[in-house]
Structure 1
Amino acid sequence: MSSTVLSPDSPAWLAAVRFHGHACPGLAIGCRMALAAVLAFDLDASFLTRTDAAFRRTLSPDEELVCVAETDACCVDAVQLLLGCTLGKGNLLLRPRGKTAMSFYHRPARLAVRILWQADIHAPDGREMSRGEKMAHFLSGPEDALLAVRAIPFAPPSRALVSRSLACANCGEMTAEHAVRLRDGQPFCLDCRPDPSRIL
């Protein structure tokens, strides 16, 4: 098997399906985008045959690898599983643009790429591919027909912040300091903040 494609029985794909809950074309897209990022940064691509958690932590145990996703679709789950980029760890950020695109930053190498999905979903005879055909094509099709990978300036998001929590003056729930709004010197969570249009 080529190092730039996945097969329907590859451990990486099967692990992604288990994590996501079902097989779908969007998940296949995410697997290929994750693989493209690994290859662009010349990282260890052995996750194709090894999918245990200990290995994923070696790809990004903290925030060495950062993903900024321009979509919140199925493909993001593959990136979480295969690359170890997660919301909770702070190295997966969502920049909603409605595009199947992700920017990846490799902090140790100070390299960055943006990967844009650009696959045609039509078969050679002009009809739209079936769901199964799309998955197979997305997993094993030639990279240059599926993805546009280009280097971008290395300007990663700041590292995850750990901020103190404040009690909301209205509901009393503890809220991260960066997410409160002050009124008359009192902190309000975003759900309880007074209507800003009424504050002169």
Structure 2
Amino acid sequence: MLTLDELLKEAEVAHGHLCAGQILGVRMAMLACARLGIDEPRGKDRKRLVTWVEIDRCATDAIGVVTGCRLGKRALKPVDYGKMAATFADLSLPLGEDRYKAIRVCALESSKQRAKELYPDVEPKNAQQMLAYREMPEAELFSEEWVSVYLPPKEFPGYKGERVACAQCGEGINYDRFVVGEGEGEILCRACAAPKERYYQPI
């Protein structure tokens, strides 16, 4: 595992700037790897880790830098709860029935107040938090919880699934992300199966 300073430099390059959220993300991922006994998440241990991130903000980029988990590798799973939290699953720790041991780490709301107490004269707030979050003990920054996560084989990194075409739009669908339509049981993509719910609308 690289040092905090080394990882923060890499996170700054990957994200485009360094901020309090990046520092939280780096420290969160370092803590999770330590708890799981993962020394080289981007090296010899790279196939052990799958991470769920609960926010689409700066910390997510930092978590990817530390862990090597990437969306395109299917090792980074976004679930947008709007929380500064992530769950790190170790695939070498199966619990049975497609479940794996994991640790969920969440930034404490009280850490912002603690940053104010440590650096009351530093402005702006981001600079204050950046200083504090580098040095605060983990117990003042994060809550930790051992959890299990469900990860069937088809959700694994490297899974090669069947590719089918949507009966309506003709576009290819990977990883069983199709819906079987009512009536004649046509295979549909999710966008065609529920057009009012898709994130885009034709104009």
Q: Quick check: TM above 0.5? A: yes
Q: Which residue of 2 aligns with 1:18?
A: 13
Identical columns (%)? 26
Residue 138 (structure 1) aligned with residue 133 (structure 2): yes
Q: Deviations over 1:17-39 (max 9, x none)?
A: 10111111111110010111122
In structure 2, what is the Cα distance between the partners aligned to 1:28 and 1:156? 28
Q: Which amino acid aligns with 1:145?
A: E
In structure 2, what is the Cα distance between the partners aligned to 1:155 and 1:135? 31
Q: Which amino acid aligns with 1:164?
A: E
Q: Which residue of 1 aligns with 2:72?
A: 88
Three-state SS of the structure 1 residue aligned to 2:61 is helix
CA contact (8 A) 1:165 1:176 kept: yes
* Residue of 92, 96, 102 corresponding to 1:112: 102
In structure 2, what is the Cα distance between the partners aligned to 1:194 and 1:121? 41
Q: Which residue of 1 aligns with 2:173?
A: 175
Distance 1:189 1:142, change over 3 A: same
* Residue of 27, 30, 39 corresponding to 1:35: 30
TM-score (norm 2): 0.75
In structure 2, what is the Cα distance between the partners aligned to 1:14 and 1:139? 13
In structure 2, what is the Cα distance between the partners aligned to 1:33 and 1:187? 41
In structure 1, stretches of 5+ residues that fail to align are 46-54
Q: CA deviation at 1:40?
A: 0.9
Q: How does 1:147-166 map to 2 (within 5 A)?
A: 147-152=142-147, 154-159=148-153, 160=156, 161-166=159-164
Distance 1:108 1:180, change over 3 A: closer
Q: Which amino acid aligns with 2:45?
A: L
Q: Deviations over 1:132-172 (max 9, x none)?
A: 121121122211110112323x4442242432111222222
Three-state SS of the structure 1 residue aligned to 2:70 is coil
Three-state SS of the structure 2 residue aligned to 1:88 is helix
Q: Which residue of 1 aligns with 2:45?
A: 59
Q: What is the alpha-carbon root mean square deviation over aligned residues?
A: 2.7
* Residue of 121, 129, 132 corresponding to 2:112: 121
- The number of aligned residues is 178
Q: Which residue of 1 aligns with 2:98?
A: none
Three-state SS of the structure 2 residue aligned to 1:38 is helix
In structure 1, what is the Cα distance between the partners aligned to 2:55 and 2:35? 21
Q: Deviations over 1:90-132 (max 9, x none)?
A: 2221232222111212222454211111142231259986211
Q: How does 1:67-86 map to 2 (within 5 A)?
A: 67-86=51-70
Q: CA deviation at 1:83?
A: 0.6
**Higher relative contact order, chain-length normalized (CA < 8 Å, sep 6+):** 1
**Which is strand-richer, 1 or 2?**
2
